[in-house]
Structure 1
Amino acid sequence: EGQYAILFKYGGCNATASADVFVNPVLDTPDSYTKCAGTTVIANTSNIAGATYIWTNNGNIIAGNTNTISIQTSAGKQNYFVQVTDIHNCFAIDSFQLTGIPIPIVHLRDTSICANQSIIIHGEAVNASILQGYQIKYEWLFNNTVTGKTQSDFTATAAGIYEIRASVEECIGDTSMHLKVNPLPILNLPVSMRFCPESDGDIVIDAGAADSYIWQPNSESSRSIKVSHKGIYSVTVTNSYNCSNSAKTEVREICPPRLFVADAFSPNHDGTNDLFNVYGVHIGKYHLLIFNRWGEVIFESLDKDYAWNGIYKEDMMPIGVYPWVITYEGDTDEYKGPYKLEGSVTVVK
């Protein structure tokens, strides 16, 4: 740049002219910026003394008369232009591209579960649709400790603070939640209960304190039930947290064995008292021996329902007294035995 002169000669005539020449300003503007959407970018170009600046985006003037501009980054790519006019009215135009990386948006909310449950916490970015083309990385923390889990979902069972961090390049979105674990109702049903209906009557099964009850197999809804039969009884109880717990107990009928032996019978085929019967309840193994007066076994039975009809070797035994011995066991381990009972029966006509 500088002042330039020109001399004209024609014949004997001379003429001169001069002009000042100036160089257009030179701009040094970065070609591009990449920032997280929502953050502020300070863009700048050459600082030329006395110059004026006009910044535009999509044909719209967004700032002027400064070599520095503050831009709020939005997601996607935007082109920005700057025109500089110096004191000589010379100008230059430069541009740059601003790329805004979307920040993953994640939402979690406090919740609760019961102690015997788990929950899948969904941490996928809710703006995943605009993040297509980007790689989203996930990181889970539990009570401020990195868990090593890198999927968008997390299966949780323990109470505490769960935090997820979702990142695209250096852009991070994070949030946290509190998981509360509510206790189950306490059930103290015994594994088994025993009773003898002949002596004890009904047995009461108590499920303990709770808000609601469902018993099976009879669908009762009271805290306790009365039971008069052996079997499996189960209950599901629910507390004020709407947490449920179940338990069952086996009610066993445990009674001592009992025998009732006739002391006489008349095997005369009149249809009345013709058999020597032995009656019993809660009997397991059973062995009956009947003897004559010489100690000879004249009748033997392993079944209490198999009665003696007074015959031995196809002959009716005469009127008289016949000793007998019964050895037997109970039908449960608690009353296994063995037991022995002795007596005699009289044959009458």
Structure 2
Amino acid sequence: LTSSNNGNCFAVSDTVIIAVKQLASVNAGPNKHICSNTPTVAITSTISGVTNTGIWTTNGTGAFIPGSAFTNNTYFITVSDITAGLLSYTLSSTNNGPCPVVTDTMFVFITPLATVNAGPNQFICSTTNSISLNGSVSSSSNTGTWASGGGGSYSPSNTILNPFYLLTPSDASNGSVTFTLSSSNNFPCPVVRDTVQIKIKKPAVVNAGPDQSICSTSISATLNGSVSGGSFTGIWSAMGSGNFLPNNSALNGIYMVTSADINSGFVNLILTSTNNQVCPAVSDTSKLTIIKDVTINLLNDTTICAYQNPLKISANVSGGSGQYAWTSSGTGTFVSVSGFNTVNYFMSAADIANGSVNLTISSINNGPCGAKSGMVNVTINPAPTANFSASTYTANIPNDPIKFTNLSTNANSYYWSFGDGGFTSQVNPLYNYNAVGFYTVSLIAINQFNCRDTIEQDILVISDIQFPNVFTPNANGSNGGSYNFSDLSNDVFFPYTSGVVEYKLLIFNRWGELIFESNDINIGWDGYFRGKLCQQDAYVWKANVKFFDDRIYKKTGSVTLLR
């Protein structure tokens, strides 16, 4: 510094030296991310410029080793630091001279270590198609991934913490599946894992034994049950009213049959597994068929005639299988007909000649009840043979009696019916018919066993037609031509005949004039014409007649009217 305006004096000078110091440069190092399981943080820093010393301060509660005045330090993290999750480390320059303090701060981000829980171990039954997994991951991302040693798949995926695992048959045969849940998106923390074991229990294998049949004469049935696999115990129940001995938990006990069971015809015996743990109960059913004992009700021994062939025979067979078979001691044949266990037995000639035959019905295929049979003895009496001949088979009336000759064999009594209401028990009767017509003559021949045979033959009885040649009319007036066949007054001209179905009578006088006509066999000519008695004379008649047997009669004659 030099003075000025000194006048007559010399300028005076003085000098001062200014030393300029460089401001400190402080670098606390880069920010860091660490996991909560990291115990320490390595701190590396630099200070340059006016000084190379500094001191560390932090918002944490840990300690610097070797000390806070060392630029390169190790910081020991405390629980409080982890809880806080964010630490700041500030480095301040010291020994700055004329310069101000310079600071720099680094941050340490503490990420909590993931907490992984794969859920509790489980027991499931192999009948289950899927496993519900219940995992949890507590971390900054709360994400995880499932893996297992099984061959199944995950639904919807293995990155869902609570997925379903779809079991495979190999999983079930292996007996268990171990699942590992691993945390994901872990930076800066390591992967954390937890495992869960799912043990797969097999269901019980239940066998109630084969279906069986007993006869209704049995009071009990032996049980043959078994339970294996997931259980070895079981309990019996029945869709019946019986009891189990010694109790219903004895796999190889006895079922006591009741009358209601017998009437029902069967009982379903059900064996159900017990002590199944996680598996459902398993049941199996054995059907106990109760076949009613066979009862055969057959008619008593019987006696028949040889002509009662075939013999219809029935048997009331109850119980058993309902199947039966007929057999004979003879050589005849059986033919089934409608009706319960009903057959026609056609006797052979040998059966009839032997005079008896045994017929047996057997109930068959009855299982535990066995076959049963019933027999009836049939005595076969010989039958007569009815036969006769007639002295004529076409007779005219009036006529001599017809002689019937009995040609029957093996008979000792007879009954004749002649078709017009007449009958007799004579051996060789004579019989006279009073009216024309077709008549069926029957002969019943009977032997000492009351066996009978019948024969029928037809007799045709016909009549001719005869006209009188003279008559004397009633002079007291016309009666319209009506007459009585048995009246002997002879006052009406009419024919003597029988069996007429069509009739026409014409009367002519000697001049050829038609004076009478009748189409009714019951109306004759009473000798009157137009209300007046005709004169005594010979008159010509013409008759056209048809009989019941289609014979046609056409005849012309004359009749004399007497007064």
TM-score range, shorter chain: 0.5 to 0.7
Q: Which residue of 2 aligns with 1:311?
A: none
Q: Check if 1:105 corresponds to 2:134.
A: no
Which of residues 54, 65, 69 in structure 1 aligns to 2:69?
A: 65
What is the CA–CA distance in structure 2 between the aligned matches of 1:242 and 1:147, rounded to whole Å? 21
* Equivalent of 2:235 in 213, 216, 224: 213
Change beyond 3 A, Cα 1:295–1:184: closer
Determine if contact 1:24/1:92 at 8 Å carries over to the other structure: no
Code of the residue aligned with 2:191 in structure 1: it is I
Q: Which deviates further from its counterpart, 68-77 or 169-178?
A: 68-77
- Partner residue in 2 for 1:140: 147
How much has 1:84 moved relative to structure 2? 2.5
1:226 to 255, 275, 278: 255
Amino acid in the other structure paired with 1:344: N
Give secondary structure in 1 for the equivalent of 2:119.
coil
Report if the CA contact (8 A) 1:54-1:83 is conserved.
yes
Q: Give 1:201's aligned amino acid.
A: I
Aligned residue for 2:30, secondary structure, equals coil
Q: Contact 1:278–1:307 (CA<8 Å) still a contact in 2?
A: no
Check conservation: 2:208, 2:270, Cα contact below 8 A: no
Match for residue 133 of structure 2 among 105, 122, 125 = 122
Structure 2 letter corresponding to 1:217: M
Q: Cα offset for 1:103? A: 1.0
- Cα 1:13/1:137, change in 2 over 3 Å: same
Q: Match for 1:248 among 266, 281, 285? A: 285
Contact 1:104 1:168 in 2 (8 A): no
CA contact (8 A) 1:77 1:99 kept: yes
1:193 to 193, 212, 220: 212
Q: Which string of whole-angstrom CA distances, capped at 9 and with x for unpartnered residues, describes residues 24-46 of structure 1?
A: 2230521342x444334624231
Match for residue 274 of structure 2?
A: 238
**Per-residue displacement from partner, 1:237-288 (whole Å, max 9, x unpaired)?**
224867644322122335786644233479xxxxxxxx96433322435577
Residue 29 of structure 1 corresponds to: 29
Aligned equivalent of 2:299 = 262
Task: State the one-letter code of the partner of 1:56.
Answer: N
TM-fit CA distance, 1:16 = 0.8
Amino acid at match of 1:14: D
Report how many aligned residue pairs link the two structures: 311
Unpaired runs of 5+ residues, structure 2, are 5-11, 304-312, 345-354, 381-563
Distance (Å, rounded) in 2 between the aligned partners of 1:186 and 1:41: 61
Q: What is the alpha-carbon distance in structure 1 between the residues aligned to residue 151 and residue 108 of structure 2?
A: 37
Instruction: Give the Cα separation in 1 of the matches to 2:62 and 2:360.
Output: 121
| Residue 38 (structure 1) aligned with residue 74 (structure 2) | no
Q: Which has the higher strand share?
A: 1
CA 24–17 in structure 1, closer or farther in 2 if over 3 Å, else same: same
**Structure 1 residues 289 and 188: CA distance shift in structure 2, 3 A:** closer
Q: Verify: 1:281 aligned to 2:314, yes or no.
A: no
SS of residue matched to 2:209: coil
1:164 to 180, 185, 193: 180
Q: Determine if the alignment matches structure 1 residue 51 to structure 2 residue 54.
A: yes
TM-score by length of structure 1 reads: 0.65
- Measure, in 2, the Cα distance between the counterparts of 1:83 and 1:183: 68
Cα distance in 2 between the residues matched to 1:279 and 1:38: 94
SS in 2 for 1:19: coil
d(CA) in 1 for partners of 2:333 and 2:20? 157
Q: Which has the larger radius of gyration?
A: 2
Residues 117 and 236 of structure 1: CA distance in aligned 2, closer, same or farther (over 3 Å): farther
The amino acid that maps onto 2:298 is V
The C-alpha deviation readout for 1:94-130, integer Å capped at 9, x for no partner, is 2235151551421433443455557735242153xx6
CA distance in 2: counterparts of 1:254 and 1:39, whole angstroms: 85
The one-letter code sitting in structure 1 at the alignment partner of 2:106 is S
Structure 1 residues not aligned, in runs of 5+? 1-7, 267-274, 309-319
* AA matched with 2:19: A
Counterpart CA distance in 2 for 1:124 and 1:54 is: 42
Q: Is the CA contact (8 Å cut-off) linking 2:206 and 2:284 kept in structure 1? A: yes
Secondary structure of the 1:51 match is strand
2:96 counterpart of 1:80: no
What SS does the corresponding residue of 2:135 show, helix, strand or coil? Answer: coil
Q: 1:10 and 1:276, CA in 2 relative to 1: closer, same or farther beyond 3 A?
A: same
**Aligned equivalents of 2:88, 2:278: Cα separation in 1:** 59
Distance 2:278 2:142 in 1: 41
Greater length-normalized contact order (CA 8 Å, ≥ 6 residues apart): 1
Q: In the alignment, what sits opposite 1:316?
A: none
Q: Among all aligned residue pairs of Structure 1 and Structure 2, give the percentage whose two residues are the same amino acid.
A: 11
The amino acid that maps onto 2:59 is: T
Q: Is the 8 A contact 2:137 2:183 kept in 1?
A: no
Amino acid across the alignment from 1:207: G
Displacement after TM superposition at 1:196 (Å): 2.0
User: Aligned to 1:14, what secondary structure does the other structure show?
Assistant: coil
Counterpart of 2:392?
A: none
Aligned to 1:317: none
Q: Which amino acid aligns with 1:139?
A: W
CA shift in 2, pair 1:161/1:258, >3 Å: same
Cα offsets for 1:282-336 (capped at 9, x unmatched): 243557799xx99798x9544437799xxxxxxxxxxx9786565876477x999
C-alpha contact (below 8 Å) 1:28/1:45 kept by paired residues: yes
Q: Which amino acid aligns with 1:226?
A: Y
Which of residues 172, 175, 182 is equivalent to 2:194? 175
